[in-house]
Each structure stands twice: as structure tokens, then as C-alpha cells.
A and B are shown apart, each in its own frame.
Chain A
């Protein structure tokens, strides 16, 4: 079945550490996105990529980094510079030029301990 796989489902990080969240899709979508979800805040865009080897900052990119070396993969690194990293992180993908194929993964819950 086609879809987006995010791993791990739960992740714990000590303060000062970088951590990488995985996102893999087999939908053959060119565009991929990372959103952060906090209670009462909706979904806020962190980074997005429309094509391999290219990505753009979203609304809340500070303290995060991404790479897009393969079409199928769009990992997100939460760096120690992110002051409040505890949140639910969602990866999504879509067909460029349309939002019809906007598919989300099941998310990773990151907790700083």
C-alpha cells in the first residue's frame, strides 16, 4: 500500500542533543513537507521541498534542518538550537501544483527529557 512512514512513533531527547526524525514515502510524490503540531496551535509549516536537492523554509524553520537527497526521503533534524522542541511532528507529501494528493504520515511525538 502506498503511503508515508514516519519513524519512530515516540522519541525522547535530552536537552542539548540533536535528533533526526525519519519520513519515507512510496507515493512517487515530488513535494514533501514537515509540520509541527502543538495543542491549540494547529499545524505550522517547518520546511518543504518541491524537488530533490531543493528545500525552503516554512513559517517556523529556526532550530530545524532538513535534507532531500532522495525523492522518497525527507528527514528532519531537530537541533539543540530549537528552544521548545517537545511537539507532535507530521510529515506530508503531495503532487506538485495541486493539494489534492496531500497525504500525511502518522506522526512522531518528540519529548525533551
Chain B
């Protein structure tokens, strides 16, 4: 059972464009939603995260939008740059004593110069 569904599987964007990656979850107990960025041959690194008590969080060019009623959240990368080319994973956890992260399957983003 896939608890976090991520789309698209791959995405190609031109430099300066907006990259949008979407995730949907099923478990209403999830209360923490991080995004990770992974470069080839490296481990994922935390990019930005949100809790369901806010609908949007922005850090620089990266924004998370959260829709609690639809059980969906998305990552927007504004002014995408070739250096943003990486695999992006959304994740979710119920928090509390059960804090294991459940990951989406990832999106391979390519930003063309």
C-alpha cells in the first residue's frame, strides 16, 4: 500500500521556469510533510517542510502548498536553475512516537539551460 503518491515521475523544465511536483497522501494521521532533494550518488537532504496548520511555506525559491481537505501537497520551484536538477522526494510522518518517514517514489527534475 503506497501511502504517499508522488507525480510526475520525471519533469523537464527550462531555466527560469516553474517546476511543480505534487504529492497526495491517505493517512489522516500524517502531520509533518518534508521534501528532500537528492543529487546522484548522494543521500537525500532536507529541503523544506510543512505542518498542516499552515497552507503555504516559502523558503527562497522553494514553496510548499498544502491542501489538508484534499490531502495533497506540492513543491513549487520558482526561477528553476540547472543546479536544481536532482531527484525530489516528498515524505510524511504521523509524528509523535511514530515518526518514521514514508516517502513518495521521487521525481527526477531536469532543468535545461
Binding site for B on A (CB under 8 A): 4, 6, 31, 33, 35, 40-45, 48, 58, 90, 92, 94, 96-100, 102-107, 109
Contacts and interface: CB of A to CB of B under 8 A. Distances in A.
Given A41-B105, A43-B89, A98 B99 contact: yes
A102 B96 contact: no
B103 A31 contact: no
B95 interface: yes
Given A99-B93, A102-B46, A40 B99 contact: no
Interface residues of B, number: 26
Interface in B21-50: 32, 34, 36, 41-46, 49
Nearest to A40: B105
Contact of B99 (A42, A97, A103, A105): A97
22 contacts: A31-B99, A41-B105, A42-B6, A42-B89, A43-B44, A43-B89, A43-B103, A43-B106, A97-B99, A99-B32, A99-B34, A99-B49, A100-B49, A102-B46, A102-B101, A103-B46, A104-B36, A104-B44, A105-B43, A107-B41, A107-B43, A109-B41
